[in-house]
Amino acid sequence: MSILVDQNTRLLVQGITGREGMFHTKSSIEYGTNVVAGVTPGRGGETVLDVPIFNTVSEAVRATAANVSVIYVPAGGAADAMLEASAAGIPLVVCITERVPVQDMMRVKSEFNKRGTKLIGPNCPGLISPDQAKVGIIPGNICKAGPVGLVSRSGTLTYEVVDALTRQGNGQSTCVGIGGDPVRGLNFVEILEMFQNDPDTRAIIAIGEIGGTDEEKAALYIKEHVTKPVVAFIAGQTAPPGKRMGHAGAIIEGGTGTAEEKIKAFQAVGVPVARYPVECAELIAKVL
């Protein structure tokens, strides 16, 4: 099995006619993902990559029964694109776009919570269930179907750890990049719950980074609810306080959000913490 996306995913691409949208849509189609529609206002009736284009998400949903939307719309219009997808009844929205304003995301989060829409991102690589569906920019060629669930705040570290797992012979059930912005969709705890309930996920990797308290909350959740082996890695261990490191949310403020605090939180509940990303694969091999 997998979480969030699978062979039943019917993908809609918002911003499909842009450079990034077209490039990554082609990659998803080549991977075998069922891309059923694209949305670009004013381009309705056209086709791109043999995918029909619609002017609005609601039109696309009515015509194709799309159930997941991925967004490659520029930052200024990304919030409206997310809200349009939710209003049209799409249950899962994945926003790849970077630099979405925090105030915009606060509005999106409020509306999504009211409607029950799930959100991955923004500023994330998306997700992939190997051999089933690829939604976003995670390279399909480094993935392999298997029993390891992975959730990460970092896109590039996701790729590094997935590649190490695959080379080692351990495949993945689903890999989810939740993004590193301060206001975003699904968090560690929500993804951990899904992996815990997925019978085919036998072990979990959590890749965190400095800033915020998501990892500390995840550690407490693991202690109380997760029975499967979990391995962690925390990026930013040498980051100085007050300096943003990569992601907007990766900043140590007021003495909180340090790598040391997060590592201690995981270790306190029996979760081994890798010293470097590739070691996650080595630690997982010991518990499978």
Active site residues: 247
Residues 257 and 210: beta-carbon distance below 8 Å: yes
Q: Do 77 and 98 form a contact (C-beta atoms < 8 A)?
A: no
Distances (CA, A) of 162 to 22, 150, 177, 270, 285: 25, 8, 12, 23, 13
The token pair that represents 191 in the structure block: 């993804």
Distances, alpha carbon 82 to alpha carbons 98, 235, 239, in Å: 13, 29, 33
DSSP 95: E
R_g over Cα of the chain:
18
- CB-count exposure of residue 118 (10 Å: 0-12, 13-18, 19+): middle
Tokens at 233, concatenated = 């890695």
27: helix, strand or coil:
helix
Write the DSSP assignment of 160-221 as a string of letters.
Answer: HHHHHHHHHT--EEEEEE---SSS-SS-HHHHHHHHHH-TT--EEEEEEESSSSHHHHHHHH
Residue 91 tokens read as 């249950």
Please, are residues 121 and 96 in contact by the beta-carbon 8 Å criterion?
yes
